Amino acid sequence: MKENYIKQFEQFYRMFSDIVNGFSDDAWVSVGHKLTVPQKLSFHILQSTKFYMTDTSNFEECNGNTGLCHDYKIDNNFSIKKEEIIINIKKQYEKIKNWIENIDLNEKNEKFPWTGKDIESVVIFISRHSYYHLGELNCLLNENLLGEGDDFFAHNIW
């Protein structure tokens, strides 16, 4: 089962990277409203996954330094570069892969009871939550490109 989850996340992170790279620099910070702007939504996907994996490491910046902390509160002044999201997507895929390989899916889940009774429920919740927001991000991209966006789902299935 773990291999199946890892494969799903591999495909997810490839789609995520492609969608992020599809935004122009201007659209990255201007498409959408309030918290549903590509840069903020992308950060939220990464940040919430870190939360459920209990990963308290900071986010990496383009220069290799660590920047925003794992529990940073997104506000109107928030800004993160596309390149930094891409760096952190790659790092997070490796982390979630390692996490899944090393967890006991049947272990009781006491930390996040709203996700389900065991750690496997947490994995499923992370996937469901991430795909939900990836759909929002893809919708923003397609709206910005007037319906001419690529089919990132089909390109990343294999």
Whether residue 46 contacts residue 13, with contact meaning beta carbons closer than 8 Å, is answered with no
* pLDDT of 94 strictly over 80: yes
pLDDT tens digits for range 119-128:
999 999 999 9
DSSP 3-state assignment of 36?
A: strand
pLDDT tens digits for range 72-83:
566 677 788 899
Instruction: Please state which CATH number belongs to domain 1-60+69-145.
Output: 1.20.120.450
Q: Where are the domains of the chain?
A: 1-60+69-145
Q: What's the whole-model pTM score?
A: 0.87
Whether residue 131 contacts residue 152, with contact meaning beta carbons closer than 8 Å, is answered with no
